[in-house]
Structure 1
Amino acid sequence: MAEHGPESEPARSDRERSEQGLLPRHRTIYQRANDRGEIDFERVPAAVLTIPFDLVRHDMLMELRPLKPARIQSIVDELFLPLVRTHQGSPGRS
């Protein structure tokens, strides 16, 4: 029964997710963007970083089909990037 305790693999994954606010694969995406200078990973709140994934998941559950490319572009360009820019260190960075 130790595998169902607080330190089981699912429990660790849930804890890591809540501590970081991001799944490891999402964190990797943003770390790469940070390394390229596209975002300031340390300044952008985890809540903002999870928004694109949350919206994609929501749309897929509600529509029961993959998102159209125009919707993905809208999520990124009209919602996510403006929120990221409000948390950037300097106005020139995107």
Structure 2
Amino acid sequence: MAEDQGGDVNQGKKTRRRGAALERAILQAAAEELAEVGYSNLTMDAVAARAGTSKNVIYRRWPNRAALSVAAYRQMLPTDPKDTPNAGDLRSDALALLNRANDRLSSPAGKILREILSDIQNDPDRVREIHGQLVNVGVAPWLTILARATARGEVGPEALTPRVASVAVDLLRNEYVINGVTKVPASTIIEIVDQIFLPLVRAHR
């Protein structure tokens, strides 16, 4: 049985989309809705209409609009390892990654993420759910620079864990959600790297 009862019309015939194709269509529709109306005005009905599917199909994949919105946001993140900084020392790479994350969080797309995080901050279960989605993608370049630092002898292999690798970005995100800044200043970026991230990972050496 086809999953999508909405489908696309192509040359007079309705095309049933399934699996990855259907999910791509839904996430693209969600991203477009978020760009147009923002997270606070996003509705599952509007996403379903734009994607040409049903609301029930969306709910089978994402239980709420926060989960759907974060999934759409994740599609905007760079995943190509070639995009990962490689200056030859961990501090430079960490500063480059954190500045990149700061630019992203202060962008229009980042504003959407900040709205989501602000909306769910009093719901611990949803915070854990959303944090898990963000860590699974955003941690990859941090693990890459830590692996390179391990090969150079800057840190030990014990530092190569998602929890350690996500510390800097988690602290950066907190500046937006808790302190309500529109962009984190460069001095704070340096403090996060020099006073927290580097001492933490270098303890594993």
Q: Which amino acid aligns with 1:74?
A: E
Name which structure has the greater RCO, CA cutoff 8 Å, separation 6+.
Answer: 1
Unmatched tracts of structure 2, length 5 or more? 4-18, 24-60, 63-70, 72-131
Q: How many pairs were matched up?
A: 77
3-state SS of 2:154 partner: coil
The question of 1:52 aligning with 2:168 is answered yes
The question of 1:72 aligning with 2:189 is answered yes
Alpha-carbon shift at residue 54 of structure 1 (Å): 0.3
- Give TM-score scaled by structure 2 length: 0.31
- Give TM-score scaled by structure 1 length: 0.58
Measured against aligned partners, the alpha-carbon deviations of 1:70-94 in whole angstroms (never above 9, x if no partner) come to 1111111111111112212xxxxxx
Mark the structure with the bigger radius of gyration: 2
3-state SS of 2:165 partner: helix
Aligned ranges 1:1-94 → 2 under 5 Å? 1=3, 2=19, 3=23, 4=61, 14=133, 17=136, 23-40=139-156, 42-44=157-159, 45-61=161-177, 62-88=179-205
CA distance in 2, matches of 1:48, 1:35: 17
Q: Which contiguous aligned blocks of 4+ residues in structure 1 show a shift greater than 6 angstroms?
A: none
Once the two structures are overlaid, the 10-residue window that deviates more, 27-36 or 66-75, is 27-36
Unmatched tracts of structure 1, length 5 or more? 89-94
Structure 1 residues 22 and 33: alpha-carbon distance in aligned structure 2, compared to 1, 3 A threshold: farther
Structure 1 residues 84 and 26: alpha-carbon distance in aligned structure 2, compared to 1, 3 A threshold: closer
Q: Which amino acid aligns with 2:200?
A: L
Aligned sequence identity (%)? 30
Alpha-carbon shift at residue 56 of structure 1 (Å): 0.6
